[in-house]
Structure 1
Amino acid sequence: MQQFTEWTGYPHGSGPARSIELVTAELASNAVRHGSLAGRDFRLTLLLLPHGFRIEVTDTRPERLPPPVTAQPPEETSGRGLFLVEAYADGWGCTARDAYTKTVWAEMRFRTTGS
């Protein structure tokens, strides 16, 4: 995530960069898999906050809210994405502000590197 590296000074492959990449990938893949309608895309927004970083993914299925996070049985081959988001993020949630979109967000705290 070049933008994260530029904003924070953390190098590619560092722990914080890998955590941001994982959470971003999970939220984006959920938008593609569960939140898309034909002919519509999702929007990814990255925000540098005073205390960390916020990832927002907005899709076109406000009626499909994220399910509660529960551990999946070992034999299940999917359904662990939000479990990972919850494990890596300091906070996450979902906001549906209108009848056409919803935004799933995650915030992760870190210290700046001074770069």
Structure 2
Amino acid sequence: MNQKNSLDFRVQLSPTPRGARLARLLAAEWLATCELPYGVGDAATQIVAELATNAVTHGRVPGRDFLAALAVDTGTLRIKVTDTRDDALPRVGRGLGLLLVVAMADRWGVEVGPVPRKTVWAELDLGSPEPGKPCAGDSGDPKYQGPEGK
């Protein structure tokens, strides 16, 4: 587990069901240390679980780990999961996982590269920070931004 500062979390895990479960559990523990608006921690934990499960199920390459990262910056919680299958881009409608991400996130998208990686990310708006709190606020409508910026 690598932590740059109190508002940044990164962990590299094996592409197995155990790795996906650990991503969810470790992210939940880190999120509990942030003073987030009501419901944001739960939504973020679910998004991490879905993206990590997709990385393990669809983005798995034997011997190559996946990376889960969360960061709070200027009123936004950004969740990223990177795997090593840039040829397996996620599509909404293949299963329920991405539908949950779309429903809970304010924005989400896919970044391809550097080869052979892809990163699926989601953002939750937190509003303006209050004095003494790292983040606070509400969330809005989900919007997709794909590799082409659509």
Question: TM above 0.5, one fold?
Answer: yes
CA–CA distance in structure 1, aligned partners of residues 116 and 105 of structure 2: 26
Secondary structure of the residue aligned to 1:21 is helix
2:101 aligned with 1:85: yes
Secondary structure of the residue aligned to 1:66 is coil
Runs (4 or more) in structure 1 with deviation over 6 Å come to none
- Residue 40 of structure 1 deviates from its aligned partner by 1.0
CA RMSD, Structure 1 to Structure 2 (Å): 1.8
2:95 aligned with 1:63: no
Deviations 1:61-95 (A, max 9, x none): 0010011x23x7xxxxxx10000000000000001
- Residue 110 of structure 1 deviates from its aligned partner by 1.8
Q: How many residues align?
A: 104
- Residue 16 of structure 1 deviates from its aligned partner by 1.2
Aligned-partner residue type, residue 49 of structure 2: A
Residue in 1 aligned with 2:70? 46
TM, length-normalised to structure 1? 0.81
2:36 aligned with 1:10: yes
TM, length-normalised to structure 2? 0.63
Aligned-partner residue type, residue 51 of structure 2: L
Aligned-partner residue type, residue 100 of structure 2: L
Secondary structure of the residue aligned to 1:25 is helix
Q: Which runs of 5+ in 2 are unaligned?
A: 1-27, 134-150
Residue in 2 aligned with 1:76? none
Secondary structure of the residue aligned to 1:3 is helix
Secondary structure of the residue aligned to 1:43 is strand
Q: Which runs of 5+ in 1 are unaligned?
A: 73-78
Deviations 1:1-48 (A, max 9, x none): 1222323x139xx51111011001000000000001111110011111
Aligned-partner residue type, residue 67 of structure 2: R
CA–CA distance in structure 1, aligned partners of residues 73 and 112 of structure 2: 22
| Selected match of 1:106 from 122, 134, 143 | 122
Residue in 2 aligned with 1:75? none
Identity of aligned residues (%): 41
CA–CA distance in structure 2, aligned partners of residues 97 and 40 of structure 1: 15
